[in-house]
Structure formats: structure tokens, C-alpha cells
Amino acid sequence: MENKLHVQDLRISFRTSNGKVQAVRGIDFDLSRGETLAIVGESGSGKSVTSKAILGILAGNSIVESGEIIYDGQDLLKISEEDFHKIRGDKIAMIFQDPMSSLNPIVRIGRQLTEAMLLKGKNRQRESRNSFYGYLKSLGSMMAASAANDTERTRAAVSCRKFQQFEKKHTELEAAYNIAHEGASEALDDIGIIAFELEKNTVARGAADRVKDIARCCRESLNKYVVDPDIYKEEVLHNASSLEGNFQKKDYPAVLKSLYRLRDIMAEGAERPKPNFFRMGYYLTFSDKPLPEMPLEKLNDFLLDFLEKDFMRDFVSDAKRALTYSADQCRIRMGRAVEELEAAKPIFAAKQLNKKQCMDTWKKLGKTVKETIDPLAVSRDSLVYTFSPSMKSELLKYFYGVKANVGILRGYEREKRKYDAIVSKGGKPDWELADPAVTDLELIKANLSHIIHRLAEHYQKILDSAGSRDYHAETIAAIDYLMQSASGIVDKVTPRIARHRAIRLMEEVGISEPHKRFRQYPFEFSGGMRQRIVIAIALAANPDILICDEPTTALDVTIQSQILELISKLKTERSLSVIFITHDLGVVANMADRVAVMYAGKIVEYGTSEDIFYHAAHPYTWALLSSMPDLDTDEKLTAIPGTPPNMIYPPKGDAFALRNKYAMQIDFERQPPMFRINDTHYAATWLLHPDAPKVDPPKAVMDRIARMNQRREAENE
């Protein structure tokens, strides 16, 4: 399964007037495509801080002490705000707890929906154009460099020129198709609204403009591969003109007749399968014969045969040679990089780091590592791409900390003298003396060594597995990447198209009468409807990852269920990866693939939904399950005693120990490691240690598991 997000050893603190609050203390998790990860825990456990770190919206007093958040080969903790702007909303979107905090109360819903589409649409076009021409140029250069003779070199140059030439035809055909198909789809939507109004004799305000839009969209739909003009042109133009004329005359029966016929034609056009314009573009560019008339499936096969016989075979061969050559060159440079990384380790492990020596070494290593990047690799190597910014960030943090710690310690000593003076006179200070919020220099040095070691190890694995790469498959993937980039160039989002897509999106999230609602303000919607609009806005740019930060907390249980079902449905339909943050374990029982239980800034249990609900192992998870009501609960719910620890003064051992009736002496002295239960299930509790006494879960948990097993068996029968 494709990994979309990787979080490792994330540690985040906040500077406060009372001291440093340790909000997140070393968490790790992965998120795969189409997967829902639920992060569960009570208020203050670090759930929302983690989500805000992923989105790059942490408060100004935050301190990212260590860790990395890898998305698309980038460490989101190290990139600039400009780079984050390309990701936030476009690739990673968020639904907040309070929908009104995400909506502008004085701007219409329609404008708030279309704004994201228009802004991100232009960025995507630009990125697609740069990707296509940049990659094709790199591929051509490597083809020429890897050529054995002038014949191969000339053939490679001609192939690249031909590829660029017929891609222009491909994008031209696809752009025309996109306009026509969007026109047919938009016409269908508006026809349904107007026809309904006319049938009920309730013509709404703005109907005349909508009729004009229908006529215009129907005319735009005339395309060989949508609404065939050879068959329907006369009929479409006649009905479109009649539609406008009869509506002005208020001859509604005639209008309905035209609408019904246009609806049939548009529906047929919108449902027609899309041709392979990539293959068609090549044929129309380089064949001296017209496009043959045959069914679409046969036509696609015919075009594929022509493409492969005339061009693709040689192009794939040249591209494969280029990819192999490029990878070989990179491996040579990786070997040198490993040597330099090993030589640099003592410099960053010294007792006291030398600023000039460290910065010079970082610059040299950064240049060496950059040279190992394969220009023909379609996907980014995250470790390579994040090496230089990660090293720079840690070094700046270290040398800033060296200076800052001096002042912080002086201030602490002053406060301590005051504190001790009051105590010595028999007084009781009205404040607590917190430990100084100094930068942990040893932790930073450990991070630096870890970054270097991990990259050297990564390079060594690549070098050891060189013989197992499938260059043919990589070549096909590279060509697919070029095709997708070319298609993205012509995927234009105009205000009209944005409006149409926004209305369809409102329908998708369950908003009734979207045409009417499009022009309304947020205060005209109920709480559940506003949350649906926020979900629609989050989906407007078609993100890869959707973060839901307690989106159902303020809603009643009926609406809550609807929103959860909606998120699950959208996840399946769009192959979304979802991070669902909640304090209620019951909310995610039926929608989460994996669950991470957080307490006091750490993940204390991690596993599949099956693992967590049927085989929970951590006392805190037991407590959450015991306090969760269901329809069969007849006994008094168990409350978790005590309160979470003050993270200005984090506990020495297990943070949950004071609230845990199963706590042992070691829980108060040492933090438990993450014990492996099985391949998918882990828990940080000393109860899993081989020497620990056997402890059964509470009766409430055992009874709940028994009831769930009974229900599951009944459903399977």
C-alpha cells in the first residue's frame, strides 16, 4: 500500500510564562492511501498539536524539538511558508471542530467554495507544465548521454521532439473534450432544475439566466467525442434557440419539450467513454491517413498498435537505457556520499560543536547529497530531499541554543535565589519554580548523528539492491507521468466551471437545493449543514489527505452519524487518506482502519480497530473503553480518576501511573517502551513485560468485548 505520510519522533513544546510545556513527546505513525487513522485521547493529549504541525499552523510560541513529517519527499517541518502554501488545502486539507471558524460570515457560500478551486487550479496547471517540459528535457539529455553512437543519439533527439510535438495535439484534443464534457454535464444539472420548476409552475428568480446558460452549455457540448456534431448539431442548435425564444414568450410547454430532448442528448454525451487522446494525438500528428471510423474500444486498440509499431517501442527502449544510465551514475555518486557521510560523523558528535566547521561540512554534504538525486526518478526520495534542510535546521537550533541557554540559566538562577530567600525566611512563594526551558543540546547532536547515519544506511541499501530494479516498469511509469503532466496542463478551472463543480460538490456532501444554497450566507445554514459546507471546501481542491479535527463534537448524535457516514463515503470514492482526531473512542469504531491512543503527548497504544476494540492492552485504553456507553450498557460507567499531569513538570515514569490502579513501582520510575504484541499492535505499558504479573482487563471491558463478539457472530450467521 502506498505510504502518503510518515511521522517520526515528533517532539513539540510551547514556551509559556510558567515554563516549557511538553505537548508532543516523540510520536511515530504512517498513513497509507485510502486509510483512516484515528488519533484518540482526552483534551491536552497532543492530538490537535500533531494535526496542526502536519498542516504548518502551530502557534508562534511552539518549539519543534525534533522529528520529521514526510509528505511527497518533503519534510513539512523544514519547508518555507511559500512551499507550504502549495500543499496546505491543495494536498492536505483540514476540517475544524467549529465550522463557523472556517467560514467567513459575510461572504456567500458559493464564493467561499469556488475561491479554493480557482486559486489551486492555476497552480496545478503551472506545476503540470513545469513537470512535463522539465522531465522531458532531463530524459532527452540522459538519452543523449547514454547513447552508444551517433545513430542512437540522433534517434533519441528525434523521439523527444516527436513526443513534444504530438503531446501538443493530445492536449489540444483533450482541452476541447474537457470543455464539451463540462458543458454537457453542466447543462444536465441546470435542465433538471428548470424542468422541475416548470412542471410545478414555480419559476424561480434567475430562471431566464439559467435558460441562457443551458443553451450556451449545449452549444459548447458539440464535440466529436461528447455530442457528435455530425449527428446532433442541427438538433442541438435548434432546440437551444427554441428554448431561449419560447421561454421569453412564456410558452412553457414548448420549453419543456426542448428541455426533455436536450436532456436525452446531453445525458448520452456525458456518459460516453473518453477516448485515449494520447494515442490519438500521435496518429493525427504523424499519420497521413484520416482517423478510421470504428467503435471506441477497437479504435483505442488500433491507435495503440500504430503507436507501438511506429514510435513507442524505440522510445521505450531509449528511455529505459536513459533511466538505467542515470541510476548507474547516481549509484556511483552515492558510494562517494557514503564515504563523506561516514567521515563527517565525528564532527557532529564532538563534545562541543565548532560552528564554522559544522556549517562548512553541512554545505559540502548538502552538495554531495544533491548530486545523488536521480533527475529521472518519478517519485521523490524523501531521505535525500530532506537531508540538507533537516541538517541546517538542527544546526541553527543548536548554535542558537548555545547562546540562548546562557541567558535562560542566568534568569533561572536569579529566580532560584529569590525563591530560596523566601523559603529561608520561613515564607511560602506564591509560584512554583519550574525547570529552566533550555535547549537540549545533546538531543540536537543525537538528531544530527541520526540524520547522517540513516541516510548512509539508506544509500547502502540502494547500492546492495541495485540488481533487483525493474527498469522496464520504471520506464512505463515515467511515460505515464509525462502523460498525466500533459493532461494537467489543459485542466482549466474557469469561474463558470468552478461554480458548476461547487454545486456538484454541495450535492456530493448532501446539501439539498444546491443552486439556491450556493448564494446563501453561512448564518442561513444549520450546524450540520455548515459542517457539510466545510467538508465541501476541504474537498474543493481534491486533496490527498484530509485531517478531521473533532468535526462532530458540536453536533447532535443524528447529525454526527450522518457526517461520519459522509466522510467514510467520500474516503472510499476519492481514495482519500484520513486522519480523524477525537476524544471519543466510540465515534471511530466503525470507520477507522487503525487507531492511535494518545496520552500526555505520547502514543500509548497503536493498532488496527480490531486490535484496539477487541484486544486492548494499555490501562488507559481500558479506561476509555470502560467510560464509553452503548445501547447494552446497564451498569454505571467508570470514570477515569484524577487529572492529566502538568506537562510543565512531566512525570519521571509512565504519565498515566497516578491514575492507573494497575500501576507498579517501575511505572513511577521509568517510562515504558513500546512493546510489540503482534505485527500491527503495540502498547507502551510495563504490564506487557515478561516479568510483569498477569493482569486481566476490567470487567466492563471484558463484558463489552463479549457483547461485540456476540453481535459479530450474529451478523455472520
460-499, pLDDT tens digit by residue? 999 998 888 888 888 888 888 888 888 888 877 778 888 8
pLDDT in tens, 56-88: 889 888 888 888 899 988 889 888 887 888 788
Residue 361 confidence (pLDDT) above 90: yes
Q: Which helix (H) or strand (E) holds 264?
A: helix 252-271
Cell 481500558 belongs to residue: 622
pLDDT in tens, 535-544: 888 888 788 8
User: In 10 A of CB 125, how many CB atoms?
Assistant: 16
pLDDT value at position 637?
A: 67
By residue count, the chain amounts to: 717
**CA-based nearest residue to 244, from 213, 218, 211, 196:** 211
pLDDT value at position 235?
A: 93
Sorted by sequence, the CB contacts under 8 Å of residue 185 that are 6+ apart come out as 266, 270, 500, 504
Coil, strand or helix: which one is 290? coil
626-646 mean pLDDT: 74
Alpha carbon separation from 680 to 430, 608, 631 (Å, rounded): 48, 7, 29
**DSSP 8-state code for residue 310:** I
Q: For residue 43, name the pLDDT band (cuts at 50, 70, 90).
A: confident
Residue 426 confidence (pLDDT) above 90: no
Q: Which helix (H) or strand (E) holds 604?
A: strand 602-608
Residue 396: all three cell numbers together: 541553527
655-674 mean pLDDT: 91
User: In 10 A of CB 530, how many CB atoms?
Assistant: 21
CB-count burial class (<10 Å; 0-12, 13-18, 19+) for 148: exposed
Residue burial 538-557, b: 16+ Cβ < 10 Å; e: rest:
bbbbebbbbbbbbbbebbee
Give strand pairing partners of 378. none
pLDDT value at position 632?
A: 62
CA distance 239 to 241: 5
Q: For residue 717, name the pLDDT band (cuts at 50, 70, 90).
A: low
Answer whether 52's CB lies under 8 Å from 547's CB.
no
Q: The sheet that has 682-683: what strands, in order across it? A: 92-95, 545-549, 577-582, 36-40, 594-599, 602-608, 682-683, 675-676
pLDDT in tens, 428-464: 877 777 777 788 888 889 989 999 999 999 999 999 9
Furthest-apart CA pair in the chain: how many Å? 104
- Is the pLDDT higher at 1 or at 514? 514
User: In 10 A of CB 159, how many CB atoms?
Assistant: 21
Sorted by sequence, the CB contacts under 8 Å of residue 235 that are 6+ apart come out as 261, 265
Q: For residue 633, name the pLDDT band (cuts at 50, 70, 90).
A: low
Coil, strand or helix: which one is 296? helix
**CA-based nearest residue to 492, from 124, 111, 116:** 124
* Percent of the residues in the chain that have a pLDDT greater than 70, as a whole number: 98
Q: For residue 248, name the pLDDT band (cuts at 50, 70, 90).
A: confident
pLDDT value at position 597?
A: 94
CA distance 240 to 216: 8
Answer whether 437's CB lies under 8 Å from 62's CB.
no
CA distance 487 to 175: 8
Coil, strand or helix: which one is 546? strand
Residue 603 confidence (pLDDT) above 90: yes
